[in-house]
Each structure stands twice: as structure tokens, then as C-alpha cells.
A and B are shown apart, each in its own frame.
Chain A
């Protein structure tokens, strides 16, 4: 298993540009989520999904959209990038078949908005 993969690893955007961060998992996990981590801070939940076709907002959803058309993929869209969205973004997945929702994290995408 590749686990949770994220692309790209690094990205630089100009203010106002849009882009999609990709996340995929090959463990057939129902639950997927997106977090952002600002320098020296813990992770904050952006959006999450409990299955294909079902998404919900986390702590900091503004400026981001998600969709879940398949079990494997959970892309995060930045609609109009702002410098405040400069951060490292982590995708995670988990399954209720495993030990009480243990989450597996991807390697992260480092995004800089200028």
C-alpha cells in the first residue's frame, strides 16, 4: 500500500490564483480530512468527509472547497489564494474498521502565497 499520498509537495501561488491540492489513499478508508499547520502551531481541521458524497466543515473552512466523488480521492480547492493561506497542508484518512479511527497522514504540501 502507498498509504496517503499528496501532490504537489511544494507550490507557490500569487494572490488571487486558484489551485487544487490532491490527496489519495489506497486503504479503502471511509474517513478523510484536510488540516493546515501554520509555523510553530498545531494542526487545524479544514474539511472532512465520512464517505463518498459526504463532506463537512472543520474549524477553518473559509476559502476552501472540497468534494468526495470516490472513496480514494479527496481534493482540496483554494478558490482565490490569499497570503493568510500560506501553510503546510496535511491530508489524513482513517477507517472505523481499524483501531478506533487511527488516522494516517500524508507527507504534506507546503504552500506559499505571495
Chain B
């Protein structure tokens, strides 16, 4: 299974943009890039996913490098409620297994 690499932690100020990076140099052509986040004492929740093109939704934006070996989750204006662990995951449309790494713990300062 292709693996992802993320920084252990990042810090942001409230109301500033946050860019969370993810490296996935062994990604295959059929792997989709998914992001989940886990708020304290809760189960993970889906944030966004994409294949090749950049994606936007109400929660965040996903910027995917042209060679697909890296991606960046963008939170446009961080709030205190965005403090969570963010997981970058590769999922293949033909498969079901989802492998979670340790993720990036995002700290947001008021």
C-alpha cells in the first residue's frame, strides 16, 4: 500500500490560512487522496478528496501537485474549532482498505 508522510504537528493563528502538507511519492495512478480530521474525543470525519485537480468544498481546499507526489490541505481561515489531527490517506477505487498514518496535529492559537 502506498504510504503518506505528514509533519507531526503544526501551529496556526486564529483567522489565518493554514496549509497542511502531505507527501505520497509512491502514489499510483488510481489512488485518490483523501483527508480526514479527528477532533478531540471523536471519531474521524471526512474533509475532502481528489484525484488530479484541485478541489474546493465548504470545509477546505485540496491542492494536488502536478506529479501527484504531494498535496496540501488548505483551511482558509483557521478557527479554534479546527484544532484537530488531520490525516492524509490514499484510497484506491478498486480497493477498500484505508491505512491511517499518525497525521498532523494542528494547534490554533487565539
Contacts and interface: CB of A to CB of B under 8 A. Distances in A.
Contacts of B103: 42
**Which has the most chain A C-beta neighbours within 10 Å: B43, B46, B99, B103?**
B43
B49 A99 contact: yes
Interface stretch (A11-19, A63-71, A101-109): A101-109
Interface of B is mostly: loop
B98 A103 contact: yes
A114 B81 CA distance: 35
A43 interface: yes
Given A100-B91, A100-B93, A45 B99 contact: yes
A79 to B, nearest CB: 23
A83 to B, nearest CB: 22
Interface size range of chain B in the complex:
20 to 34
B32 A33 contact: no
Interface in A8-35: 31, 33, 35
Contacts of B102: 40-42
Interface of B: 32, 34, 36, 41-46, 49, 87, 91, 93, 96-103
Interface of A: 4, 31, 33, 35, 40-45, 48, 50, 58-59, 90, 92, 99-108
